[in-house]
Each structure stands twice: as C-alpha cells, then as structure tokens.
Amino acid sequence: MDLRIKANKVFKEPDSSHKRYVVMKGSAGSGKSVDTAQHYILRLMKDPGRNLLCVRKSDVTNRDSTFAELQGALFRMFGEEYKKYWYINSSDMRLECRINHNQIFFRGVNDEKQREKLKSIAVKRGKLTDVWIEEATELTQSDFEIIDDRLRGELPDGQFYQIRLTFNPVSSSHWIKKQFFDRVDPDVYTHHSTYKDNRFIDEAYYRRMERRKEVDPDGYRIYGLGEWGEVGGLILTNFEVEDFDISPDRFDYMVNSQDFGYNHADCIGEVGFKDGELYLCREIYEFEKDTSEIIQIADEKGFRKDLTMWCDSAEPDRIKMWKKAGYKARPVNKEKNSVHAQIDYLKKHKIHIHRSCVNTIKEIQQWKWKKDTKTNEYLDEPVNYFDDAMAMLRYSIEEERKSKVKVHTFQGGI
C-alpha cells in the first residue's frame, strides 16, 4: 500500500490520545480539519470494529465539510488507488473501508427528526466508537449530550470510545469553554493550533492573516491566533438562541432581508415581528455564488415571495434580478448615520434567533465595536468583518424603524 501522508507535528499528540474527549480549538487555516480527516481514515483502516459518525448542526452541511474533507484525504493519500480500499456512496453520504467494512456516517442535530436519526445508525461490524463534531460551537450543550449518550456499552480489550470536537473559537462565554477548558477532567484532552503551525499553508493566505493583525487586532486574536473572544465590546447582547414556532400566523408581520455578497457571505433572513420583538426564523448563508444561484437556493428552500425583501441599496442590479424572479425586493434607505440608527433599534428590542440559524449565531456572538489600539477604549464604530448576517438583521427592521412606512398585519398574506 503506497500511502502519501501530509502531517503537521502539532497534531501528533491529539492523534495519539485515547481520552474520551479530544477538543481541538484553532484559528482559521490551522489544518485541524484536514488532519482529523486523515487521522480517521488511518484509524478505521487499521482497527477493525471501529465506526465513525460525523456531526454538524445541520446534516446537509456535512456534504461540503466533513464528507468533502474525508474524500479529499482519500484522494491525497491513495490517488486513484483509493477504490481498492474505500467505497464512497456520494448520494447517501456514506464511506466504507473495503478491507474491514468499518463505516463512516454523517448526521445532524438541527431538529428532533435529525436527532432521531442518530439512534438508527446500524454498523456492519463492531460498534459506533468515534464521533467527529465539526464546527462544534454550532451545537448546544444538549445537542452534545445526545451524541455523548450514543457512545456506550462494553468494548473489546484495547478499544475505546472517543469524541473529537474541532472548531474556531467564538465567545469566551460559550459552553465548550466552560465544559472542557475551564476545569480539569482526566477524560479530556484539549488542543490549540494556529495557521502558523500549518507548514502546508500557502504564502498568500499567510500574508492575508498577517495583514489582519494590523487592520483588526481583536479579530486577529480570534481568527488568527485561535483565542476565545472577549465578551467586552459586543454590540448586541439582547438576544436569545432558542427553538420557537416559525409558523407565519403567530407573527404580527414578516419580512425577508438580504445582505449581498460573493467573496464574503450572501445572507438572507426570514424575520418575524411580534409585539415589537424580532424573531429570526430561517437563514441562507452562502459564499461564492452569483445572484441566480442564490435565487435558486431561496426557491428550493421555499422562501416566500409575498414578503417584502429589504436589501442593500448599493446593489440595484441585484435587486432588479430578485424582482424579476418574483420577490418583492426593495432597497433600504441609507441616510446619514443609518447604521447607528439600525443598531440603536436592535439594541432596544429583544432578538430571538432560531437554533437552526447557526451562522447568524456565530456572527452575533462576536460582532464588536472597534477598539482604539492606543487608548484601549472602544470606538463608536462596528468592526467591518464577519458581519454579513448582522447587516441582514439591520435591514430587516426597516419597517419597524421608520414610522412613515406602513406596517402590514399578517392575515393569511401580506
């Protein structure tokens, strides 16, 4: 067997750990997900009776993350010879080792239906022994407990259960920090890595991360150094992440709102209002897709065309395309200090975010005011980075914010 292995020394210890929880925090570009995929391919080929479950908050996001990473690992390690050793079922997202019939499954925990699917996993040989939770900060603690409970029962000598969590850090108040980093637990191995530990990173990406150090020191500390985000300086703290009924008839009225993007995210939200409080029900969050592709995604997800869609006024051509597609797209008014006016409104009203809106949750947990590097004081200006969902939220309150705009009540339609 001709194996081509690309390994960074920084991952040697976590890859050899037998502890139940291996918790890997790191910066963007540290290589932790690439290493994890390669690690599991090797582990499952070597040890008969081991089977892996890959988890994201939403099951469909596995296709472009864990499933893609594992396939990429196979292609790098074996080239076209991978077919001798692994079977890939792309439609059902399942991998099986031809040598020992160890299997890899992919699931989500976004709702009760997805959680129930965790219980239906039946392996051909051995037991479900390993879980890889990618973007682990998307999950709630109760999500994690459901997964943790799945790994139980007696194992043959030498075998062990293990859950590996990989993620870029967010707020220092996150449950993962409290559960695994703030207390001593003999069953936990914690690990930290940055882009500087990745010897395979390309030079252009390295320079990009270094530039971030000057432009946004706080952001660099999180995304460049992989450190936990400070709670201080957060713009919005009046939000709650929860499950709630997203049926249209429970709200006073609803809107869609959109912040256009390509290299940065194009973000669309379906937002309901009830007694002056804001409820984000659903989101679309896509990179490197043109307007026609985003429209197709909105159509497939059933975003309603009878709702007003408030959009960035700087993109009139895109607004025109959405109108032609049947959506009620309208530009927001960007008068002087409109951003601060929108923020002021959002700060004064309770914001409810559905648990499925994982990208908005990530952004709101780190959306901060800029800090003066000389005085160390926060400025009255938001950090202009990783704020696409925040722009979407700002646009959504256009009708609420402007009393001159008529607010329609939901009565079977708008």
In three-state form (DSSP H/G/I as H, E/B as E, the rest C), the secondary structure along the chain is CCCCCCCCHHHHHHHHCCCCEEEEEECCCCCHHHHHHHHHHHHHHHCCCEEEEEEECCHHHHCCCHHHHHHHHHHHHHHHHHHHHEEEECCCCEEEECCCCCEEEEEECCCHHHHHHHCCCCCCCCEEEEEEEECHHHCCHHHHHHHHHHCCCCCCCCCCCEEEEEECCCECCCHHHHHHHCCCCCCEEEEEECHHHCCCCCHHHHHHHHHHHHHCHHHHHHHCCCCCECCCCECCCCEEEECCCCCHHHCCEEEEEEECCCCCCEEEEEEEEECCEEEEEEEEEECCCCHHHHHHHHHHCCCCCCCEEEECCCCHHHHHHHHHCCCEEEECCCCCCHHHHHHHHHHHCCEEEECCCHHHHHHHCCCEEEECCCCCCEEEEECCCCCHHHHHHHHHCHHHHCCCCCCCCCCCCC
Partnered with residue 90 across adjacent β-strands are none
In this structure, is residue 228 part of a structural domain? no
* From 115-119, 178-182, 316-320, the region with the lowest mean pLDDT: 115-119
Is there a single domain that holds both residue 274 and residue 185? Answer: no
Measured distance CA(80)–CA(72) in Å, rounded: 12
Q: Is the domain of 120 the same as that of 215?
A: yes
* Domain shared by 196 and 292, yes or no: no
Please check whether residue 178 lies inside any domain of the structure. yes
Question: At 34, which CATH number?
Answer: 3.40.50.300
Cβ neighbours, 10 Å, residue 253: 19
pLDDT at 185 over 50: yes
Q: What is the dihedral of CA 275, 276, 279, 284, to 10 degrees?
A: 140
Question: In terms of domains, do 351 and 216 share one?
Answer: no
Q: Average pLDDT over the chain, rounded to whole?
A: 90
Classify residue 1: in a domain, yes or no: no
Same domain, 361 and 389: yes
Q: Is the pLDDT of residue 2 over 80?
A: no
β-pair partners for 51 = 128
Cα separation, 170 vs 306, in Å, equals 36
Shortest CA distance to 28 belongs to which of 356, 325, 366, 341?
A: 366
Check residue 234 and give its pLDDT.
87
Q: What's the whole-number mean pLDDT along residues 193-209?
A: 92
244 and 200 within one domain? no
Phi, psi (deg, nearest 5) at residue 331? -80, 145
Asked if the structure places residue 268 within a domain, the reply is: yes
What is the extent of the structural domain holding 27? 9-223
**Pair 291, 394 in one domain:** yes
Quick one: pLDDT at residue 403?
A: 53
Assigned domain for 316 exists? yes
Residues 345, 305 share a domain: yes
pLDDT for 231: 65
Residue where a domain terminates, one of 190, 223, 256: 223
Which domain-ending residue is among 157, 191, 223? 223
Of the pLDDT bands very low, low, confident and very high (cuts 50, 70, 90), residue 371 is confident
Average pLDDT over residues 386-401: 92
For residue 299, name the pLDDT band (cuts at 50, 70, 90).
very high
Is residue 106 located within the same domain as residue 254? no
* Same domain as 251, residue 192: no
- Provide the number of structural domains found in the chain: 2
Note whether residue 410 is domain-resident: no
Domain limit, last residue, from 183, 199, 223: 223
Query: pLDDT tens, 29-68?
Result: 999 999 999 999 999 999 999 999 999 998 888 998 999 9
Residue 339: inside a domain: yes
Same domain, 204 and 340: no
Residues 166 and 246 in one domain: no
Q: Between 291-300 and 316-324, two packed helices, what is the crossing angle to 10 degrees?
A: 40
409 lies in a domain? no
Long-range contacts, 94-101 (Cβ 8 Å, 24+) = 95/70, 95/71, 96/124, 97/44, 97/45, 99/45, 100/44, 100/45, 100/48, 100/49, 100/125, 101/125
CATH of the domain at 286: 3.30.420.280
